[in-house]
Chains A and B, each alone.
Chain A
């Protein structure tokens, strides 16, 4: 069974640039959620993708966007980077969007630093 993998693990960008983060879900999982974890804080929900459609969104501006592909892998895109976007971005996969155990399976994260 392949776990959740994310790339890149670390990256540095400057303000105003754009970034794409990638995630491969755990085998058999059809749902991917993205979280932003600022230093010393808990993960904040960005959005979730199910069957290639955005299924729900947290309190993040439209410059945060995503995609899910037919193989259930996913991308998180952030445009016009701001200093406050510096954080650990976590991808989590799960089976289905409701019911079940609700358990999330996390990747190791992508650490983004915006200078």
Chain B
């Protein structure tokens, strides 16, 4: 069965500093997608970054980057130069190309001014 585990219920970072959110997953598939979604308070969930499993190169989107370790089934998110607007719930998610995207329990990120 597919599972996604986020072991950090909460994280805190100082503005302009770097923070890493952890995620592990389990799947028997060899090809799949991994995602990080951001859910700000009372606002829509939006995609932050996406990684295709067949690509060895780690995805990067501006201040957001991932460390994808396929053998270890690990997919962490690094946020550089943290901003107050980065404060939100972050969900790691996994999809094998089918109808179901599996989400982790989330990590709440606090950004201190």
Contact = CB atoms under 8 A, between A and B. Distances in A.
Contacts, number: 60
A45 B45 contact: no
A65 B35 CA distance: 27
Contact of B91 (A43, A98, A102): A43
A28 interface: no
A80 interface: no
A45 B97 contact: no
B100 A48 contact: yes
B16 interface: no
A106 B47 CA distance: 9
Interface in A14-44: 33, 35, 40-44
Contact of B104 (A42, A99, A108): A42
Interface in B33-49: 33, 35, 37, 42-47
A106 B98 contact: no
B54 interface: no
Contacts of B8: none
Contacts of B105: 40-42
A8 interface: no
Closest 9 CB pairs of A and B: A56-B99, A42-B103, A106-B45, A102-B33, A102-B95, A48-B99, A43-B103, A42-B105, A45-B100
Interface of A: 3-4, 33, 35, 40-45, 48, 50, 55-56, 58, 90, 97-99, 101-104, 106-109
Given A33-B99, A42-B4, A101-B33, 16 more contacts: A4-B44, A41-B105, A42-B104, A43-B91, A50-B99, A56-B99, A56-B100, A58-B100, A90-B45, A98-B97, A98-B99, A101-B50, A104-B37, A104-B47, A106-B46, A109-B44
